[in-house]
Chains A and B, each alone.
Chain A
Amino acid sequence: DIQMTQSPSSLSASVGDRVTITCRTSQNIGFYLNWFQHKPGKAPNLLIYGAANLQSGVPSRFSGSGSGTDFTLTISSLQPEDFATYYCQQSYNTPRTFGQGTKVEIK
């Protein structure tokens, strides 16, 4: 199975801050990396697919980059509605493993 290492596990940030979350995989997955946002009591929401493609309806302050084994999710200017937990997920093969999550909290 492909192992996912996401960091940090949590962070505190202020509205307007630039936030970066990283995801490392245990083997080369090309661009088969997706990012999700999850708020308590809600369904997870797809943000980025194929490492860098913004899902329709997702604000442009979200962006993804990387390939191979190292990936990044960036929020250029954190907004109040962005406080949530973020997960990376590889879709290169099955089982389609998730990172352990990054909880973004208000500073």
Chain B
Amino acid sequence: EVQLVESGGGLVKPGGSLRLSCAASGFTFSNAWMNWVRQVPGKGLEWVGQIKRKTDGGTADYAAPVRGRFTISRDDAKNTLYLQMNSLKIEDTAVYYCTRRGGTGLMSYYHAMDVWGQGTTVTVSS
């Protein structure tokens, strides 16, 4: 079964740091582009960033609100995606989802996010 399981969420003070993990199973993780998406309470979905597979350069792109504070990385040997969050702000409070870009055919071509984890909650509060 294809599955993504996030962990690492919790309560952190403004200015603090947190690292989220996303364990992947049921597919070849090293072949996948991966994303982080968040939902602030009562708001819509917001794309946080993506990381390409290593054969496509392995680089990461970020949304403007998190650029310079968040870092996406991957460990293909452990089938795990990470989101390092530094200098956290109250407005970073959200449920964070990791997602997979579909790996074949049109789903890959259109960068469709076809598998999502259940989410992990990050609360930034003093």
List A residues at the B interface (Cβ < 8 Å): 1, 31-32, 34, 36, 38, 42-46, 49-50, 53, 55, 85, 87, 89, 91, 94-101
> Does A99 lie within 8 Å of B63, measured CB to CB?
no
Residue B61 is within 8 A (CB to CB) of chain A in the complex: yes
- CB pair B109–A50 under 8 Å, yes or no, is yes
Least Cβ distance of B58 to chain A in Å?
Answer: 15
Contact partner, A91, options B46, B61, B112, B119, Cβ 8 Å? B112
Task: Knowing A43-B118, A43-B119, say if A99 contacts B44 (CB, 8 Å).
Answer: yes
Whether, in the assembled complex, B69 has its beta carbon less than 8 Å from a beta carbon of chain A, the answer is no
For A95, the chain B residues whose CB sits under 8 A away are 47, 61-64
Q: Which of A45, A53, A87, A100 contacts B106 (CB 8 A)?
A: A53
Check if A43 sits within 8 Å of B45, measured CB to CB. no
Complex: A79 Cα to B19 Cα, angstroms: 40
In the complex, A95 Cα to B102 Cα: how many Å?
Answer: 18
- Cβ–Cβ contact A44 & B107, under 8 A: no
Q: Which chain A residues border B63 with CB–CB below 8 Å? A: 95
Of chain B, the residue at the smallest CB distance from A1 is B64
Q: Are B50 and A49 in contact (CB under 8 A)?
A: no
Q: Is the interface of A mostly helix, strand, loop or mixed?
A: loop
Question: Which 6 A/B pairs are nearest by Cβ-Cβ distance?
Answer: A49-B112, A91-B111, A43-B116, A50-B110, A94-B61, A101-B44
- Whether a CB of chain A sits under 8 angstroms from the CB of B75 is no
Give the total of B residues in contact with A, Cβ under 8 Å: 25
Q: How far is the CB of A31 from chain B (nearest CB, A)?
A: 7
Q: A43-B116, A43-B118, A94-B50 are in contact. Are A38 and B45 (CB under 8 A)?
A: yes
Q: Which residues of the other chain, B, contact A89 by a CB distance below 8 angstroms?
A: 45, 47, 113
Which of these, A50, A85, A99, contacts B112 with CB under 8 Å? Answer: A50
20 contacts between A and B (CB under 8 A): A43-B97, A44-B97, A46-B114, A49-B102, A49-B106, A49-B107, A49-B112, A49-B114, A55-B112, A87-B44, A87-B45, A94-B47, A94-B61, A95-B61, A95-B64, A96-B35, A97-B47, A98-B46, A99-B44, A100-B44
B14 is an interface residue with CB less than 8 A from chain A? no
